[in-house]
Structures are given as structure tokens and as C-alpha cells.
Amino acid sequence: KRIIHTGGAVAYTMPDVGAGDVGKTWTIMNNGTGSLTINRTTNSEFFELVAGLTSSATTSITLVKGGAAEFIVQEANKIVVVGSGI
């Protein structure tokens, strides 16, 4: 699924992901006027992949104006996030 945000600052909540969701992806582009906050649901966690660093678990992702990120379900309750502006 692709989402191109064009409004102001807002928060989105990603759905819980299970074993049957492995391989699903969301691409979010922030062409809006403010930062986006992408929150997890109760059971799922985000793992940010940043160049040169070990991935780290987090409960929310901030996507700055002009940023783009891909959210990839790697396993049940684990969404890996790669991109710029995160």
C-alpha cells in the first residue's frame, strides 16, 4: 500500500501484524507541511534500520516533511522501517 500525505502534521496508527502478514509493505511519503507520527498498535513493534547502526525497537516513528519510509512486515509483531527522514 502506498500513502502520500499532503496535509499538516498528523498521527497514523499501523495495524497489528501476524505471521500471515509477513512480506506486506506500506510506503509512506510525507509531502505535507508538518511531521507525521506513525504509531504501533498494542502488539507490534517497529525496528528502524539506519545506515551504520544496529536496528532498534521503537513504539513510534516520526517522518519529517519531505521524508519517505517503507514499512515491511518481517515476522509476527515486527515491522522493519527503512527510509529517509525517519
- Per-residue pLDDT of 22-33, as tens digits, reads 999 999 999 999
Cα of first residue to Cα of last residue in the chain, in angstroms, is 19
pLDDT of the residue at 45 = 87
pLDDT of the residue at 3 = 92
Give me 29's grid cell: 511519503
pLDDT digits (tens, 9 = 90+) for 42-75: 888 888 876 656 677 888 999 999 999 999 999 9
Report how far residue 43's alpha carbon sits from residue 18's, in angstroms, rounded to the nearest whole number. Answer: 9
Query: Contact at 8 Å (CB) between 25 and 70?
Result: yes
